[in-house]
Amino acid sequence: MNTTMLYRIGSLLLFVAAAGNTYGLFVFWHVAGPMPPVRFPLGHAGFSYAQVALGYQVFGSLCVLFGAYLAWHLGTLARTTPQAIGALGWILFVYQLVGFCISLIFLSGFVRILWALIAICIGWASWLATGARSKLAEGK
C-alpha cells in the first residue's frame, strides 16, 4: 500500500463515520423529539437536552468531516510533495487515536472497529510519509 492510498482509505472511513454519526443523530432526534422538553437555563436562553445533544452531534460530525478532508488532502500532498506534510500527518494520527480511545469508553462494536481501522490507516500513512521525506532528504 502506498501513502496516498492509505490516507484516502482513512478519509473514506472518516466519511463513513460522519455518515453514521448523522444517522445516529436522526434516530436520536426521532426518539427525543416527542419527549416533553426539560429546559435548563444556558446564557440568555433556555435549551432542552435534545437541543444541546443536537448541537454537540452536529459539531462532532463537522469535526469528523474536517478530518476526512484533511486526510484526503494529505493523500494528495503525499503524492506530489511529501515533505510538505511535516508533522500534520502525525497530529491527525494522534487525533484519530483520541477518537479511538473515546470509542472504547463510550461506543461499541462496529464503531470501535471503524475507529481502529481509521487510526491504523492514518498512522501507517504517516509512517510511510515520514520515510518518504527521509529518502528525499538523503537524495539531496
Model pLDDT for residues 4-56, shown as the tens digit of each residue: 999 999 999 999 999 998 888 888 777 777 777 777 777 777 777 777 778 88
For the segment 48-87, what is each residue's pLDDT rounded down to a tens digit? Answer: 777 777 888 889 899 999 999 999 999 999 888 888 888 9
- For the chain, the domains span 3-135
Residue 113, CB half-sphere, CA atoms under 13 Å: how many? 2
State the pLDDT at residue 62. 93
Q: Can you say whether the dihedral through the CA atoms of 120, 121, 123, 125 is positive or negative?
A: positive
For the segment 124-140, what is each residue's pLDDT rounded down to a tens digit? Answer: 999 998 876 666 556 65
Which residues touch 81 (CB under 8 Å, ≥6 apart)? none
H-state helical runs in 1-140: 3-32, 49-80, 88-106, 109-139
